[in-house]
Chain A
Amino acid sequence: MHCHLKHLAKARPIGCLLAVGLLLQGCLTPYESRHENQWDAREQIGMSEASQVKLRAAQSRVFDMTDRQTILKTIVSTMQDLNFQLDVLDEELGIVSGKYFAPLERPEYGYDPLYHLYDDQNLLIFSKTYLSWGPFWHRNDLVRLTVTVRPRNEKQLVVRASAQFYLRAVEDPEPYQKFFRSLEQALFLETKLAQDSQAVQPITP
């Protein structure tokens, strides 16, 4: 027993050093090593883990209304509540897209990004302390959301929200449930406001 303890006592400092070393290495692992290479779009399509039908159901909500403009305006105000910056707003197609920055992974280390410029192929992030394009890990902190509105039938509309975080599609239904709860509340207020405004209007003979 004494012998066991002696061996353990010798191994402990080595183990501790190794643990600290690996832990530090783990924290400073370059961006690339924590993401698989995605060589083409086919791989990205295959990345979706949940059932597409299930995901689509979680992302969609039916509303008993046909006023596209009202629902689009309510989506915009809900996204404003969530501090989203709006990038796309197309009334005809019924699309609203926006982004916000959630520094969850790496909080403040002096690499404060100033500006995100996102287009189809690139994401440029400017930072005054990092004089290059990047830093890359801030791509992970970007939450992006697209909300679409389409008619379901003569009396209903379908709103679908799809979010991206950590470069991947958000497949957990809970964030979507919370988004739709906020949207429903905003829509209720919107409808009430419209009714009040109609009530205030003077009756013309």
Chain B
Amino acid sequence: MEHKQAVWIALLFTGGLFLQACAPPQPGPNLLAPTAAQMKLRSYQSRSFEATDPSQAMRGVVAALQDLGFIIERANEPMGLVTAARFAEPNYTDVMGITVTVRSQTEGHMMIRANAIYNNKPIEDPKVYQNFFATLERSLFITKE
């Protein structure tokens, strides 16, 4: 009898563990909340450029993305949004995606923000964004001419 009880206790315990392992995770309250790291990332991702025409700035962004080998997926001029993707070096098995927004800031200035992801993970290295903005600066200079 006692032996049976012990087996039942063991079964109940394991059953509990089994159910716990299978329970789907509940969405946390921070599912749609920005973190402090994301706020820091935002400063690397944004840069103000001297430009008066939003359409010209958009063309500059598209050309910069083309320079970097991206394929444009979406471009919405009134909303100032461009999304693009490319396979990444060295093996071209990794995927890099980028979302760029162009916003009028003050008179004669545009705020350009780029969010890049590498295999579904946000890129947090500031150098990547610096390189992108350096290419963009050249591209804007060329499109202005």
The residues of A with any CB-CB pair to B shorter than 8 Å are 3-4, 7-8, 10-12, 14-16, 18-19, 22-23, 25-27, 29, 33-34, 69, 72-73, 76-77, 80-83, 85-86, 89, 91, 101-102, 104-105, 112-116, 126, 128, 140, 143, 145, 161, 163, 165-166, 170, 172, 174-176, 178-179, 181-182, 193, 196-197, 200-202
- Is A83 touching B18 in the complex (CB atoms < 8 A)? no
Inside 8 A of A166's CB, which chain B residues have their CB?
Answer: 24-25, 27
Give the residue name and chain of the B residue nearest to A145 (CB). Answer: B32
For B, the interface residue count at a CB cutoff of 8 angstroms equals 56
- Is B2 touching A69 in the complex (CB atoms < 8 A)? no
19 further interface pairs, Cβ-Cβ under 8 Å (given A23-B21, A82-B32, A143-B31): A7-B6, A8-B6, A15-B14, A18-B11, A25-B18, A34-B22, A34-B24, A82-B38, A85-B117, A89-B79, A91-B78, A105-B25, A114-B95, A163-B27, A163-B32, A166-B24, A170-B27, A178-B33, A200-B106
The residues of B with any CB-CB pair to A shorter than 8 Å are 2-3, 6-7, 9-11, 13-15, 17-22, 24-34, 38-39, 42, 45, 74, 76, 78-81, 83, 93-95, 97, 99, 101, 103-107, 113, 115, 117, 119-122
- Is A165 touching B31 in the complex (CB atoms < 8 A)? yes
Main secondary structure of the interface of A (DSSP, over half): helix
- Is B13 touching A19 in the complex (CB atoms < 8 A)? yes
Question: What is the bound-complex CA distance between A14 and B8, given in angstroms?
Answer: 12
- Is A175 touching B29 in the complex (CB atoms < 8 A)? yes
Inside 8 A of B76's CB, which chain A residues have their CB?
Answer: 89, 91
